[in-house]
Amino acid sequence: MSLEPKDEHDHKGWMQERDLTPVETTYLTVLMWLDKRLRIVDYLEILEDLYYKVNMQMPKSHTEQYNLDNKFWYWYPLYALGSFSTIAYVVAAISGALLGFYYSPATTGDPSTAYNSITFIMTELRFGFFLRSLHRWSAQVMVAAVFLHMLRVYFTGAYKEPRELNWIIGIVLISLTMVFGYTGYLLPWDQLAFWAGQIGVEMSLSIPLAGEWVAQLLFGGFTLSQSTLQRMYILHVFFLPFITTALIAIHIGIVWMQGIAEPH
Ligand code: HEM
């Protein structure tokens, strides 16, 4: 027996004892290289353990619980609306990131640089009109899908105990979806955007006591300016994506842990 201290991250001896195919050798060499530096095997074990623990707590799906295997409940397609919202969100995020390569949030010039960048996307950029349309359509499909998903959850009673928390997260998500829509609507800095912005400022100013402060914070003043467009842009491409993505992940994570509510 060797008296050398055993290094549990050294798998070389074990590898030499077996005849391995070149694919296996490459896989194990990469795994060992990573494991020596990052101890990934230990972390993978922790993840595996967590996976089993979480699954042990998972309630049965309603198909299992109510033995619905061979029945088709004709409202089932409406249970896809949450996933449909997620897909619309991902399409909007990808097309939006690509639009970001060409859009510039500047109010300088007449027409403004922002408006000119939209004209460039629509008339000169190859497939630019397609990219912008994809972004607008996916955004609008998302608003509709989220709203219909909320109706589905309401009419199947899926908001009841123990799913209240996910209902509340849902309320925040539908609000964020609408703020996404509003901030995006202002970005082309055309007539529609400008007057929608004006309405936003006036609505903020109408809030009792905090009105002026809210207008200043959200619109950068009481009249529309470069500060307004810059704020809308950063909200649209930075704050909202981070918060919304995190909340969607938590929302779906909770559905995964709780299982779908049974039909009532
Ligand atoms: C960005 C918006 C949203 C996304 C991406 C989303 C995504 C999802 C997904 C994928 C599910 C799984 C079941 C299904 O698809 O029907 C789900 C379930 C659920 N959602 Fe949403 N959702 C959103 C907004 C909302 C809103 C606005 C509400 C309500 C105010 C809500 C409340 C719930 C509840 C309570 C469940 C559990 C339903 C059950 O167990 O049957 N969600 N959501």
Give per-residue pLDDT as tens, 175-207: 999 999 999 999 999 999 999 999 999 999 999
Question: Are 123 and 229 in the same domain?
Answer: yes
Residue 130 within a domain: yes
For residue 86, pLDDT beyond 90: yes
Q: Is 143 in the pocket of ligand 1 (CB under 6 A)?
A: no
- Do 190 and 120 fall into the same domain? yes
Q: How far is CA 181 from CA 62, 184, 235, 240, in A?
A: 35, 5, 11, 11
Percent with pLDDT over 70 in the chain: 86
Residue minimizing CA distance to atom 15 of ligand 1: 82
CB 149 within 8 Å of CB 256? no
Q: Which atom of ligand 1 is least distant from the CA of 244?
A: 1
What is the pLDDT, as a whole number, of residue 71? 65
Establish whether residue 218 lines the binding site of ligand 1, counting it when its CB lies within 6 angstroms of any ligand atom.
no
In the reported structure, the alpha carbon of residue 84 is separated from the centroid of ligand 1 by a whole-number distance in angstroms of 10
Residue 135 lies in a domain: yes
Shared domain check, 150 and 37: no
Which residue's alpha carbon is nearest to atom 16 within ligand 1? Answer: 79
Evaluate whether residue 156 is within a structural domain. Answer: yes
pLDDT of residue 59: 63
pLDDT of residue 53: 80
Place 259 in a pLDDT band, splitting at 50, 70 and 90.
Answer: confident
Q: Quick check: is 193 in a domain?
A: yes
Distance 141 CA to ligand 1 centre (A): 15
Same domain? For 241 and 134 the reply is yes
**CATH number of the domain to which 100 belongs:** 1.20.810.10
- For residue 159, the enclosing domain spans 75-258
Does the pLDDT of residue 52 top 80, yes or no?
yes
| Ligand 1 within 6 A of CB of 79 | yes
125 plus 27 within the same structural domain: no
Same domain? For 127 and 176 the reply is yes
Residues 49 and 80 in one domain: no
From the list 112, 119, 181, 111, the residue with the least C-alpha distance to 146 is 181
Q: Domain check: are 23 and 82 in the same one? A: no
Per-residue pLDDT at 113 exceeds 90: yes
d(CA 254, CA 216): 37
Statement: residue 60 has pLDDT above 90? no
Q: Each residue of 144-170: pLDDT tens digit?
A: 999 999 999 999 899 999 999 999 999
Answer yes or no: is pLDDT of 3 > 70: no
Residue 110 shares a structural domain with residue 206? yes
Number of structural domains, the chain? 2
| Residue percentage of the chain with pLDDT more than 90 | 76
How far, in Å, from the CA of 59 to the mean position of ligand 1?
Answer: 18
8 vs 223, residue with greater confidence: 223
Separation of CA 255 and ligand 1 centre (Å) = 8
Inside any domain, residue 264: no
Locate tokens 């996404």: which residue?
A: 180
Q: Cα(108)–Cα(100) distance, rounded to whole angstroms?
A: 18
Same domain, 18 and 148: no
85-89, 133-137, 151-155: the lowest-pLDDT one: 151-155
Q: What is the pLDDT of residues 17-46, one digit of tens each?
A: 678 899 999 999 999 999 999 999 999 999
Q: Which atom of ligand 1 is nearest to the CA of 164?
A: 35
Cβ of residue 260 lying under 6 Å from some atom of ligand 1 = yes
Is residue 247 within 6 Å of ligand 1 at its C-beta? Answer: no
